[in-house]
Amino acid sequence: MTVTIDLKGKKAIVFGIANDKSIAWHIAKRLNDAGCRIAAAYQERVEPLFLPLMKEMDDPIYEKCDVVSDELLDSFFKKVKDEFGEVDFLIHSIAFAKKEHLQGDYMNVDRRGYQVAHEVSSYSLAELSRRAVPMMKNGGSIIAMTYLGSEKVTPGYNIMGVAKAALESSVRYIASDLGPKKIRVNAISAGPIATLAASGIKDFADMLLNYVAKAPLKRNITADEVADCALFLCSDLSKAITGQVVYVDAGYSIMGV
Ligand SMILES: NC(=O)c1ccc[n+]([C@@H]2O[C@H](COP(=O)([O-])OP(=O)(O)OC[C@H]3O[C@@H](n4cnc5c(N)ncnc54)[C@H](O)[C@@H]3O)[C@@H](O)[C@H]2O)c1
């Protein structure tokens, strides 16, 4: 049996492209290569590296946006509604925590740092879903990006681990909300990949080495392998899968020691 994934006529909203290393970029490219049009939201600070990437896409739309700004969210979603009308997929590939809260003792996180990390990295999934769902008239798929630090202590990951735990729980609640509309919601838990966001995590290079040493497949993973999983989760091949955390981690998460 030969199965090809054809997303011609489909449309996706993608949050999280900062540069060509971003997981969101690899996912957007994979979906676009399968025929899906992309509406990309980008933060102003990443514009110089973001804009050239759009030349590599077939017929994208894009606009500056920040998930902490209602005004920018209103404007981005209006543009998507005006130009796409309907959408099929939402990719949530964003996270943020202050650098000082990604090292040392977790308990030293201050109230504001806790709030910011949760607002950007976790609450935003509900916000973006609520705005996208009225355009997802024929069902669809929502995907968030997470990491094992939500379940197991990963020194240095700290507040981001706590925010990812809330994100994964949000995936389950939103999956329950949206199941009747035939909208599936899943998270991909990726192994470490050298990206801009990862550069803020203290001892990230040691994490990469640790995966090579301990993961069953004895290697790190690539953003392209995450994109393959996202393509599967957007396709009908996964039409009975919702509310799950799917591990793309060379098997690291199954190991006890
Ligand atoms: N790189 C890894 O090792 C790894 C592993 C597992 C999960 N993840 C997750 O993958 C996702 C993507 O991260 P990445 O590694 O591709 O890094 P990245 O730095 O390329 O992407 C992070 C994105 O978040 C966006 N962002 C941050 N604050 C925002 C805000 N207020 N509004 C809108 N966008 C905002 C940034 O502009 C950027 O595009 C994140 O959720 C991250 O936690 C990464």
Instruction: Give residue-wise pLDDT tens across range 67-76.
Output: 999 999 999 9
> How does residue 200 score in pLDDT terms, banded at 50, 70 and 90?
confident
What's the mean pLDDT in 180-199? 97
Encode pLDDT of 111-170 as tens digits.
999 999 999 999 999 999 999 999 999 999 999 999 999 999 999 999 999 999 999 999
| Catalytic residue (one of 42, 62, 123, 157) | 157
Active site residue 106: no
From 29, 54, 62, 93, the mutation candidate for ligand 1 (largest count of ligand atoms within 8 A of CB) is: 93
- CA 212-215-217 angle, to 5 degrees, is 85
89-to-105, 122, 160, 203, 222 alpha-carbon distances in Å:
37, 18, 25, 34, 22
Encode pLDDT of 15-31 as tens digits.
999 999 999 999 999 99
Helices (H) and strands (E) in the chain, counts: 8, 7
Q: How far is CA 89 from the centre of its chain?
A: 12
- CA 103-186-21 angle, to 5 degrees, is 50
Q: Is 182 left (phi over 0), alpha (psi -120 to 50) or beta?
A: left
Q: Where are the domains of the chain?
A: 11-250
Whether pLDDT at 1 is above 80? no
Active site residue 123: no
From 43, 207, 209, the mutation candidate for ligand 1 (largest count of ligand atoms within 8 A of CB) is: 43
Query: Is the whole model's pTM more than 0.75, yes or no?
Result: yes
Whether pLDDT at 201 is above 90? no
Q: What is the pLDDT of residue 203?
A: 87
Instruction: Tell me how far the alpha carbon of residue 3 lies from the centroid of ligand 1, in angstroms.
Output: 31
Whether pLDDT at 251 is above 80? yes
**Any atom of ligand 1 within 6 Å of the Cβ of 154:** no
Q: What is the pLDDT of residue 2?
A: 81
**Any atom of ligand 1 within 6 Å of the Cβ of 204:** no
| Catalytic residue (one of 62, 147, 211, 247) | 147
- Can you tell me the distance from the alpha carbon of 12 to that of 127, in angstroms, rounded to the nearest whole number? 16
Length of the chain: 257
Strands across the sheet with 140-146, in order? 61-64, 37-42, 11-15, 89-92, 140-146, 183-190, 245-248
For the chain, the distance separating the N- and C-terminal CA atoms, rounded to the nearest angstrom, is 39
* Fold of the 11-250 domain: Rossmann fold (3.40.50)
Q: Which two tokens stand for residue 136?
A: 């997802």
